[in-house]
Amino acid sequence: MYSIHLSSASLSLQPDEWKNHVLGGIGFSNASDTAHPKITNFPFADVEMPVLEGAASACEIWISDSSVTYEQRGLIQYSYDENTLFGVLLMPQTSALEQMTESAFMQIFSLLETCGYRYIFRFWNYLADINGVDAIGSDGADNDEALERYRQFNIGRQNAFVASGRELTGNLPAACALGTANGSLTVAFMAGRSPTLAIENPRQISAYQYPQQYGPRSPSFSRANLVLLSDGTQKVADTDQTLSPQKLLFISGTASIVGHETKHHLDAVAQTRETLANIEIVIQEANKKVGLGEFNMTDLLYRVYVRHPTDLPAIRAEMEHVLGRSFKAVFLQADICRTDLLVEIEATAASTIRLPEEQYA
């Protein structure tokens, strides 16, 4: 399995045979982009979020090496091969965000248990007005206890984790949660049949252990998730080596946070530098787990969420300074879960390592 980044126009030109191997994807575009096609033949999260550079739209598409089956269950459109399931849930605005979120995650957990893909690699969460405040209580009635929408989202998400008997600490999936100007709650997710390995950052308190100053419930995600896609090995033609199972590293939305506190208020460049330092530590921790050092900063595919488009040149320049000019990234305008954060970066790395055959004897 692998992912590619392309514009929606390029996506629409791909042959049907190629599309038959698509697990799913996430697309970003401005609401005014009339050329942005509506994808219906595979799970696709269509997120209203402006692309800041290049084409008017950007898509991340996940491709399977084998045949893919497409199905629908309730609000969830999903696809799967023998190892991996990709799904998208678009939750209409019918109740308070806390209840909507709990319902969305309960539906996802039920699907994964039923289908046998209970180990979640990654969640991508997008919700309107993430920093907005609603005077809505947990019973859906107006009251005097206003609560930021991201904090409502965290309550609903954790309620679903508890009700579904899932862990609240330790081996949690990678995730992000970003704000859009409009639109329903959109959740994309990827899961598999085999356990994954959560990665934490020693520079940061785990998100699920944040103090209550950040909300009544802590966010339910790990800093990254390491995925082994196959239990088998493949012989490398005309050599005495085997090809190890592919590994994927999903790095959660990462920001300028040390411990649990935001660093470098109002300084987009310093926040970018701190964020990249956090990602580097996560990669180092992942490499300690696999013991081979196959992941590195320059091979990542980055998605960069920028609060203020005017900060983009400075953020890009700092990334070039740290990563070199050839790094691969998509830059998007988005609201971030804390109002004092100016940039958030997530990333994905894929690695297939060749090892001496005797290591698999």
Report, as residue numbers or ranges, the catalytic residues. Answer: 344
Q: Could you give the maximum distance between any two Cα atoms of the chain, in Å?
A: 71
Strand partners, 191: 85, 120
232 near 256, Cβ under 8 Å?
no
Query: What is the rounded CA–CA span in Å between residue 149 and residue 17?
Result: 42
What b/e readout covers 290-317, taking b as 16+ CB neighbours within 10 angstroms? beeebbebebbbbbbbbbeeebbebbbe
- Give the CA-trace dihedral at 282, 125, 260, 221, to 10 degrees: -60
Tokens matching residue 29: 């575009």
Tell me how crowded residue 82 is: count the other CB atoms within 10 A of its CB: 11
Are the CB atoms for 43 and 86 separated by under 8 Å? yes
19 vs 5: CA distance, rounded Å = 14
C-alpha count within 13 angstroms, C-beta hemisphere, residue 93: 6
Backbone angles phi, psi at 327, to 5 degrees: -65, 155
Q: What is the DSSP string of 206-270?
A: -GGG--GGG-SS----BSEEEEE--SS-EEPTTSSEEEPPPEEEEEEEE-SEEBTEE-STT-HHH
